[in-house]
Structure 1
Amino acid sequence: MSTNSQSPAPKAQHANGLPSLSVRLRHARKVAGLTLKQVAQAAGCSESLISKLENDAASPSLAMLHRLALALGSNVSELTCEDWVSPEPVLRAGDRQINRFAKGAKKEFIDLERITHIQKGGLLQGDIHIVSPGMVSEMIEHAGEEMGYVIEGSLELTLGETTYTLQAGDSFHFPSTIPHGYRNTSASIARILWINTPATF
């Protein structure tokens, strides 16, 4: 007699926060031939903050991380990814890495579930943004383009001075140079397929 029992799906690999930046920040600065002061001036922050970041004594906000990457001639993806290239083109459901990307004042969070492999010089990056109820992202702007599709829940997407309410099934596309951010005002988790080009996070 046969049965239709199935093995439980593998659990996603969760990580608290983005990978350590200290070594890569220092390396990128030295490769660029820049001093702490020069990076600080280009990123609009203090020299002491750069020193703390390079020594793992502080963590940058997402907006600051973008400014640092720009000052170093890099991008957030290159500064934070753990592996440059994977020979395997498929990422199985349940096997993908999930990073705790941001935390709110209470228990709010944004998790990023990787759906594309990180590659040095890669032109495309895809994630599923998992946004808890009440979470508000920072407003950021940078080079590139973005598009997304709301898989589950609802989201308020702000582009410049305009805010759009998106429901499951809605999609969006905008140049990343427009200041943008979002928040989940509902009582349920929101999941958004989010594509960036070039690779950003």
Structure 2
Amino acid sequence: MSEEIFVHYCSPTLAGIKTANLFSCRFEDEKEMRDSVRRLNVALVKKGIRVLPLRYRDGCALIYVYRPSKLSQDLQQADACSLLEKRGYTFGAPERCIIQLMQRLADGEEFPHEIGLFLGYPPEDVSGFIENRAKGYKCVGEWKVYGDADKAKETFAEYQKCTEACIARFAQGNRKAGYILWEK
């Protein structure tokens, strides 16, 4: 996985303004994917960031980049706990919830839309998406919004500005942009 792809898809998480990002990436084989994830974790764990392959199928990995401390805070919100409980999660440590999410992705019966909670989306928007079957939303950006549209639009703009700035730095030759620029 190239650093360019990583910076493109994960800038808000790397910058510390978002809980997590998720993206798909092609790999020749599972060993290559695991080696790439291992190298990223060596560089990023000391900055409070973890990288996990949530699923590997048909040469494509679903890569989850997250800040464990932020995820823990997000999943402790009453609305998030309630939604996860309704969806069959046994809450404990966030890592336990991630393992359950991975199992749901592997089962492949129905996409686990509660994944939005793992990405830092507002619980009311995740719940609204599930309950309304992705219809009747107020606005759309990084996610479909059912709650506070004005706040969500501000957040979308902040994520976009962050991503554009990080991509620009990377394009100017700062090849370590994904690992050094963010000290949070």
Give yes or no for TM over 0.5: no
**Rg larger for:** 1
Q: Which one scores higher on RCO, CA 8 angstroms, separation ≥ 6?
A: 2
Q: Which has the larger strand fraction?
A: 1
Q: Which has the larger helix fraction?
A: 2
Q: What TM-score, normalized to structure 1? A: 0.26
Q: What TM-score, normalized to structure 2? A: 0.28
